[in-house]
């Protein structure tokens, strides 16, 4: 499999999206053309070993990370109370 290359901003955004509970792998695939397995490989490569283990334990079997497993009432990628994210920084209100 060929490794895709991303700049630091894109890599940071992929990692951020992967950590978010409500952002499914399909959203990462849509935005960055990374399949779930490629996202896992990127996380393994970019995170510290313990951080990667913590992330894998968190997302494994989580229904919100897969569109097909989600309930029909969940139609957002983020919590409605979450602040808007722009340029990888949380904007002030």
Give, in degrees to the nearest 5, the angle at Cα 85 between 18 and 22. 35
Q: Domain range holding 7?
A: 1-61
The string of pLDDT tens digits covering residues 34-93 is 999 999 999 999 999 999 999 999 888 776 676 665 556 655 555 555 555 554 455 444
The pair of structure tokens assigned to 52 is 């990667």
- Output the pTM of the full model: 0.69
Total number of domains in the chain: 1
The pair of structure tokens assigned to 10 is 């894109």
- The closest alpha carbon to 36, from 45, 27, 48, belongs to 27
1 assigned to some structural domain = yes
CA distance from start to end of the chain:
43
73 assigned to some structural domain = no
76 assigned to some structural domain = no
Question: Could you tell me which residues are beta bridge partners of residue 86?
Answer: 89
pLDDT mean over 10-35: 90
77 assigned to some structural domain = no
């Amino acid at each position: 499999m060929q490794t895709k290359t991303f700049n630091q901003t894109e890599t940071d955004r992929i990692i951020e999206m992967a950590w978010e509970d409500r952002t499914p792998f399909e959203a990462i695939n849509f935005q960055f053309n990374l399949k779930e397995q490629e996202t896992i490989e990127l996380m393994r490569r970019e995170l510290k070993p313990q951080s990667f283990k913590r992330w894998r334990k968190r997302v494994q079997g989580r229904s919100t990370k897969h569109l097909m497993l989600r309930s029909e009432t969940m139609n957002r990628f983020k919590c409605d109370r979450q602040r808007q994210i722009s340029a990888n920084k949380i904007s002030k209100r």
